Structure 1
């Protein structure tokens, strides 16, 4: 059983994904008895002693990822996500996609896209050169499998939220080779989202050698699955050629027949072609069988990603609160978040506060709000200004672009 019965059943409950994804409107599942906190472990095996191990404690809003590998007595943490000191930037998108493919080949119950991608995409990020046309259809498909009918067609909300949180393109992220030859990630910039990763060049905590061995093993397993000589049969090559065209998904039945007639028997890839759970599952299978580079076929079958032309801005709002009602900052943040979400433009949350000593105690001076604006910065700022003016707070509040030396944005009154 790839996922134990308790976790599989829990994932089917309506509140699981909002809690797991740290949604703002998720129900509180915290248990005051720390020993009784709800926790689960999911193991994703790749064969050869390699596995990724997910450890989640829902009430504490903690999700950890570890690597099990030959020669390592216990799984080693490679990243974690929480609401405090997170380090979720473990791997670039192509590595996660590769690992999901190989886990699916190893365990037929863990189809790709499916539970592994939905659970682990929080540990993958986008960097320079990543093509969203190759990414968003698979993330959409994974959540459609896990939360069927929860979307309204097109781009799913989970995919957009993941993109907002893990898009590090344009932030100075670079991949380098350490002196030992293993890949490490660094960030040479302070605009946009910061990089939080154990995979830094000088890190002593990331298992670089074991991770490199994991990726090499995964590539070998995938190559072995598509190295069968029957794939070179003329009828199979012709069927694959038709299936790698933009309308190729319309020819899957003919490909399945050609593979069967040629004697190709890999159960996972045959099922992905003949009985896919989603077009995206057939897509990566055809891509692998035809020898196309990873992700090459996805844009042909799905077209441009709705996120391709998308932009987002991270803003910081300093809100003085002296003389204001208790929890004034939370009230403003809640209203801003509601207004931005209803307009499809983003959200807001309190990210910190400042107090000063006074009269033997401390006085709450200001709150700091973090805001996300999607696609239309001008309209987002208009909504922020309108809300702040309604509270008579625009005159003293300061809105700026996040990051060091962020430019101040005027909060003009609108009619």
Structure 2
């Protein structure tokens, strides 16, 4: 006979997402109970400010003093961690819950990126679930798709737009012809970017998510420290305009690819063909693409952050727990994980866009071409607007496929040309989508 006892939930953290989870469970209680096979009820919470109005009914819940206290309550069946951060109270509480044999649901990508392997071992040793659908791409059920819907596939590559803030900034820069700093300021006013935007615009948030996706897709340990990370601060309106002229759009992508040498993980701006599906994903939307041997290419698009999408993902994990459904944390049991060599970025092979700011004088183009020739980098195209002797002008070139190490050596040589007035700006071109 089906167990109709409520699944009793304790939530640590009542910020935007935590309040969103409480509100969603209350608002859709009947529908959720029908799909879960039993009611799901928030019975206890922990948060710093009890007095703040969060727009949800908290009159029937018990307040715990700390997140740690919440993990020790006998009336809690599952611990939901929505505090955030890779260390401190979040990590301590999750470890305490797992040690006690309490299932955990979290939206904390930083925690999983830094400690996911150890936490997965703890969960497996105690025979409990560590669920994290909300940690990657918000409302897109990408973890469930990779781990369950596409479980029969061998993946060759998983990539996507994993940070809505960067995608919004790049979209507005292209649509309005404005520079990074101006659009970032607007994004902060609108609440799309934090007061300190470092994690978003420097690619760290996307790298956290990519390391988790790679672990799930390739059945290996999370290896955040092996991800090559670049952000979007150096992308200018000039670059975006040239990209359009060349038939590309600039997106910050996270890419995990299995090669003959091992696993390549990188986050950086990419030029993608303007007619590719991922080029059309704009504003705050995220997209994740999985390439499997049986299914081919699958693309998922949706909102990657915010109260509603993230709460939806948290509640999806709670419904699985209520149903008694569980899968290994990162798609395979700990003993079945594979150790994949990490492929350094200088082993990458691809095409490149390079923008140079050049003092227009005789012989400069020959010097640039000579540096590329000496490193066996083949130039595909060059754009130089007219002649302005004695003035600083942009020169843009694109290359055929080449080794990253050779490209870097060539750029070092080019940077040493006296007529080059600032460091070369480089964006990798991603043709194979």
Tell whether the structures are fold-level matches, with TM greater than 0.5: no
What's the TM-score, normalizing by structure 1? 0.23
More relative contact order in 1 or in 2 (CA 8 Å, sep 6+)? 2
Give TM-score scaled by structure 2 length. Answer: 0.22
